Structure 1
Amino acid sequence: MRLSRATLSRVAPAARPLALPRLTGVVHLGIGAFHRAHQAVYTERAMAATGDDRWGICGVSQRSTDVADRLRPQDCLYGVRAGDEVRVVGSVREVLVPGDDLAARLAAPQTAVVTLTVTEKAYRRDTMPWSGPGAVPGAVPGRPVPGAAPGRPVPGVVGRLVAGLRARAAADAGPLTVVSCDNLPDNGATLARLVAELCEPPLLRWVEENVTFPATMVDRIVPATTPADLDDVAARLGVTDLGAVVTEPFTQWVIEDRFAGDRPAWERAGALLVDDVRPYERMKLRLLNGSHSAIAYLSGAAYVSEAVADPAFAAFLRRLMDDDLTPTLGGLDGFDLPAYKESLLARFANPGLRHRVAQIAADGSQKLPQRLLDPARDRLAAGREPRWIALAVAGWMRHVTTCRELDDPLAARLRGDETASFSSTAAATVRRLLAVEEIFGADLRDDRVFRDLVTDCLERLAADDLPTVLHALDADSATH
C-alpha cells in the first residue's frame, strides 16, 4: 500500500508529519533529495513551531518528471530517514515539471519566498543563452538580451526564474525573496547578477526595488536513495514510499537576514539568521566539501565511510583541514572550529550513510574552484605551499584523464586527446589542465609554485600507492 493522506493513519503517530500546510507560500526550484531532507524539513518544523500553515512548498523539477512521478501519487508526502529515525514530511504540497506554468506560481501573491538547490553547474552562463565569460556580444546587465523579451522562453533555471519575476511584476504581486541554497561563494549575489543580466531595464528596476537575494550556507549529507533504502523505509513506516530520502542526523542552515517580505520562521526550526554568511560559507565549502572532493579523487573507495576507515587517509584529511584549509578561514569568533572538524570526520566515518564517492566526483570542474582552488590562492598569497591541496588537485587530474566515463560539463575539454593524455608526462598533463581558465584562472595557471607542487604530486601518484605518497609528503612537510 502506497503512502498518501488516505493511508497516513497506518503510519505510527510519532512518524507522521509535524504539520500539513493549508496554503503554498514557498516555491522551490530543484526538488531533489537534498531539498527534501533539508529546507523542506526546516519549513515543516517552522510551521509546527508557530502554527503558521501558509508555508507549503511548490517543488519544481527542472529536467524530468521522476520526482513528480514519485511524489504526486503520495499527495507529496515522503519519509526522511535520519539515522535510525524515520518520519513523514508534509511540507511539500505540489510538484511542477518542465512544461508546467511556473511563472503563474511565482506570480501568485501568496508566494513570498523562492528557494533553489540546482547544483553548481546550473549557474554556468553557457546553460543560458550565451557562452563564455561574458554575455552575448554587446549585452550588458539591464539591457535586453536574446530570449529575455516577454513571450520568448529562456532556457535554464535562471531564465525560468526571470520569466516568473516578469509575471510577478506585471501582476503587481508584491515583494519576493529568492534564496540560493547551492554550494557557491556568495551564492545570493551570484544569482542576483545572473538575474540582472537577463532583465530588460523596467524589470531590472522592479527587481532592485522588490526582490532580495540573501546568501546562505547549507549543510547536510544526503546520499542518493537506493532500492534498499526504499525497502527499509517501507518496513519502518508500514507503507510503500517511493519518495523517501536518507540523510544523517546533523543539519545546519545559516541564512543572511535580508528578506523582502514575509517568510517561514526558520529560526524556530534551528536555522541561524546572521548579518554575514560568508565565514560560515567558506568554512563549509572548504572543510566539508573540500575534504569530500579529496576523498572522491584520491581514496579509490566506493563510499566515503570506507575511505575514512583507513587511518592513514583519515590522517591525511586532518592535515588537509588543519594545515591548508583552516588557516584560510576567519570571522568565526566564538565558533568551535576544532570541534566542527572532529564532527566532520565522525560524519564521514558513519557506515550507515552510504554516500557514494562517484556522486561527489561528478562535475568536478564546477566544484574544485570554491572548494580547493580558492584556499590554495589564499595559502600562496600568504607565502605558504598548499601541499595537501595540491595532492587533491593532482588526484582530480588523474581522475579526469584516466576514468572510464567522465561526468563533467567540461568533459570534452578535460579529456583532450585521450591517447595523448594517457601517455603524456605529469608535467604535460598539469600544463594542459591548468590552461583551462574557467577552472584555474590565469593566476594559478602561471603560478610556478602551484604548478610544481601539483606536478610533483601527480608524479608521485603515478609512481607509488597512496599510503606511500602520503607518508613521503608528510615527511617532506616536516622539513619545510
Structure 2
Amino acid sequence: MPAEPHLQRSDTPRPKVGIVHLGPGAFFRAFNAPFTAEAMEKSGGDWGILTVSLRSSDIREKLKPQGCAYTAVKLAPDGAEYTVVEVIDDVLVAPENPEAVLTAMADPQVKIVSTTITEKGYCHNPATGALLMDHPDIVHDLSHPEAPRSAIGYIVHALNRRRLAGHAPFTLMPCDNLPNNGPLTRSVILDFARALDPELAEWITDNGRFPATMVDRITPATTPVDIASLATAQGYIDNACVMHEPFRQWVIEDDFVNGDRPDWGGVGAQLVNDVEAFELMKLRCLNGTHSTLAYLGYLAGYETIADTVADPAFANLINALWKNEITPTVPEPEGEDLLAYCAALLERYQNPAIRHRTWQIAMDGSQKLPQRLLGTVVDNLAAGRGIPGLALGVAGWMRYVGGVDEKGAAIEVKDPLADQLRAAYDSSDDPEEKVLALLAIKEVFAPELAGNPVFRNAVTDAFMRLSHDGARATVQGFS
C-alpha cells in the first residue's frame, strides 16, 4: 500500500508580506495565522506573514517542504475539523541569516511585527517588568546591530533602520501572556533604544505603537499520534499540523501605526480601547488555574489537564479559587460575566479531545508565576482576604521545581532559572528552609511579598502538607 503524500500548498496566489511574526510555534499557527487568513478572505489586503524562528530550524524544516501550508485541527468532544492554512509566506531562522530578518523587518511594506516568544523572550525581570540590561543576549545585541540574538534586539535595530531610511515604524504587537503586554513591550523596547541611541528612543516614543492584546486558545503540543490521525483522516502527512480547542478569543487594543491592520474584527476579534480588564481576567482566571492544575496535577500523577479536572477534588479546588480568591480581584470586563466565564473554562478544561500535558504548561514557571498567581496574591493580601488556594498553587510550583516527583523519579524542569531554583530547593533538608530559599529569588518574588508573614506562612504550610501527604491528598483535603 503506497504511503500517504505530504500536504502541498495550493496554486492560489500568495498575498504580499505585511506582517513579520517572531515565534512561529504551535500557538501562532493555531491562533494568529488562522485569524489573519480569515480576515484576508473576508476583506482582502496584503497581510501575508513572514515568520522568524529566533533559535531552532525545526519549524522551517516542517513547513518549507509543504510550501509553508499546514493543517489546523479543531478538537471538539464530538470530533475533529480540519482547515489548511496558507497565510505563511516563508520561514527564516534568525541565527542562520540575521541580515535577512533585519532586511525584512525594515521593509516599509511590513506594517506589523507580532510576537509569540513566551514570557522569557522579552528578557525582562518578571517581578518588576524592567529590561535585564545584564542579560547576555541584551549585552550582545547592543554592540552587534548587524547580528542580534534576542527579539528585543531585532525589533530595535530594525526600527532604527526604518528611522534612518525615513520610513514609518511598524506596529509592534505582542501576543504573549504578560500583564499589560503592550506597555511592557514598549518599556523594554525603549530601555534598549535609550541604551543604543537616545534619539532613536525619542523617535519610537513619538511614532511607535504597541497595542496590548489578550489571546486565548488552548493549544496542546502536537504528537506523532496526532500526525498519524490526521494522515488517516485526510489522506496526507503534515508534520507541521497543530491541534487546538474550538474556543478562541482575541482582544486587541485598536492602536496601530496609520491604522494599518487586517480586518481581524470582521472575523471575531474584539477591537477595543482598553485591553487591561480582559487581560487580567484571562491571566488570573485561566492562566492562574491552568498553572495551579499543572503543578499539582503533575505531582499527583496526572498527564493532562483533562485528566486532572476529572478528579472532583481538583475541580473543587479551582472552583473555590475562582469564587473566593481570583474573581474578587478581577474587574468585570465590558460584556463579560465572570461566573459564566469561569464555568466555561471548566468545560474547556474537561474537553477529552484536548490532551494538554501538565508538564507542557509547567514550563518556564519562574517567568509565569508573578503574573498568573502572585499579582492575585498581592491584591488579596491588601484586601485582607485569605489565600489558601493561591498559596497551594505556589507551593505546588516549589515542589515541582525541586526536580523530583512523589515517587522519587526525576522531573525534567524546563525553566530559564532551573539551576538556581534547584540549588535553592536543595540548599536544606528542612521544608521551611526550602521555602525561604525559594522566596529569596528576587527574579520571581518581590522582596515585599517574600517578606510578608501571611504569605510566607500560608505557602510554608501548604508546602509542608504537600511534602508530607502528597499532592492528591492535599487537594482532597482542601476546603
| Structure-1-length-normalised TM-score | 0.89
Q: 1:259 to 1:396 in 2, by over 3 A?
A: same
2:160 to 143, 166, 172: 166
- The match for 1:49 is 42
Match status 1:26 vs 2:30: no
Match status 1:97 vs 2:104: no
Structure 1 stretch displaced more, 251-260 or 98-107: 98-107
Q: Please give the per-residue CA displacement for 1:212-241, whole angstroms capped at 9, x wherever unaligned.
A: 001100000111100111112223332221
2:267 to 269, 282, 285: 269
The answer on whether the counterparts of 2:125 and 2:443 sit within 8 Å (CA) in structure 1 is no
Q: How many residues were matched structurally?
A: 451
**CA shift for structure 1 position 158:** 0.5
Query: What is the rounded CA distance, in whole Å, between the counterparts of 1:204 and 1:150 in structure 2?
Result: 18
Alignment of 1:294-305 (within 5 A): 294-299=292-297, 300=300, 301-305=302-306
Q: Please give the per-residue CA displacement for 1:364-398, whole angstroms capped at 9, x wherever unaligned.
A: 10011100000000000001111100011111111
- The match for 1:196 is 190
**CA shift for structure 1 position 162:** 1.2
- Secondary structure of 2:478 counterpart: helix
- The match for 2:414 is 407
**CA shift for structure 1 position 210:** 2.6
Match status 1:181 vs 2:178: no
The answer on whether the counterparts of 1:20 and 1:91 sit within 8 Å (CA) in structure 2 is no
- Secondary structure of 2:221 counterpart: coil
Residue identity opposite 1:81 in structure 2: V
**CA shift for structure 1 position 469:** 2.5
Structure 1 stretch displaced more, 189-198 or 321-330: 189-198
Identical pairs, percent? 43
Match status 1:148 vs 2:142: yes
Alignment of 1:58-137 (within 5 A): 58-83=50-75, 84-98=80-94, 99-100=96-97, 101-125=100-124, 135=133
Q: 1:49 to 1:320 in 2, by over 3 A?
A: same
The answer on whether the counterparts of 1:86 and 1:236 sit within 8 Å (CA) in structure 2 is no
**CA shift for structure 1 position 148:** 2.8
Q: 1:154 to 1:280 in 2, by over 3 A?
A: same
Residue identity opposite 1:249 in structure 2: P
Query: What is the rounded CA distance, in whole Å, between the counterparts of 2:140 and 2:248 in structure 1?
Result: 41
Residue identity opposite 1:306 in structure 2: D
Gaps of 5+ in 2: 405-409
The answer on whether the counterparts of 1:106 and 1:167 sit within 8 Å (CA) in structure 2 is no
Q: RMSD in angstroms over aligned alpha carbons?
A: 2.2
Alignment of 1:279-358 (within 5 A): 279-299=277-297, 300=300, 301-358=302-359
- The match for 1:12 is none
- Secondary structure of 2:15 counterpart: coil
1:256 to 253, 258, 261: 253
Q: 1:134 to 1:28 in 2, by over 3 A?
A: closer
The answer on whether the counterparts of 2:317 and 2:478 sit within 8 Å (CA) in structure 1 is no
Residue identity opposite 1:33 in structure 2: A
**CA shift for structure 1 position 251:** 0.5
- The match for 1:477 is none
Alignment of 1:388-403 (within 5 A): 388-403=389-404
Residue identity opposite 2:291 in structure 1: S
**CA shift for structure 1 position 473:** 3.4
- The match for 1:236 is 233
- Secondary structure of 1:437 counterpart: coil
The answer on whether the counterparts of 2:48 and 2:87 sit within 8 Å (CA) in structure 1 is yes
Q: 1:352 to 1:295 in 2, by over 3 A?
A: same
Residue identity opposite 1:164 in structure 2: A
Q: 1:87 to 1:438 in 2, by over 3 A?
A: same
- The match for 2:367 is 366
- The match for 1:4 is 8
Query: What is the rounded CA distance, in whole Å, between the counterparts of 1:189 and 1:393 in structure 2?
Result: 27
- Secondary structure of 1:239 counterpart: coil
- Secondary structure of 2:142 counterpart: coil
- The match for 2:407 is none
Q: Please give the per-residue CA displacement for 1:29-59, whole angstroms capped at 9, x wherever unaligned.
A: 001010000010110010011133x000001
Query: What is the rounded CA distance, in whole Å, between the counterparts of 1:437 and 1:351 in structure 2?
Result: 38
- Secondary structure of 1:439 counterpart: coil
| Structure-2-length-normalised TM-score | 0.90
**CA shift for structure 1 position 331:** 4.4
**CA shift for structure 1 position 311:** 1.0
Q: 1:82 to 1:383 in 2, by over 3 A?
A: same
2:478 to 460, 473, 476: 473
Gaps of 5+ in 1: 10-18, 138-143, 475-480
Q: 1:133 to 1:36 in 2, by over 3 A?
A: closer
Query: What is the rounded CA distance, in whole Å, between the counterparts of 1:151 and 1:358 in structure 2?
Result: 37
- The match for 1:16 is none
- The match for 2:461 is 456
Q: 1:417 to 1:347 in 2, by over 3 A?
A: closer
Q: Please give the per-residue CA displacement for 1:432-458, whole angstroms capped at 9, x wherever unaligned.
A: 111111111111111000111111111
Q: Please give the per-residue CA displacement for 1:141-167, whole angstroms capped at 9, x wherever unaligned.
A: xxx987435745332111011121122
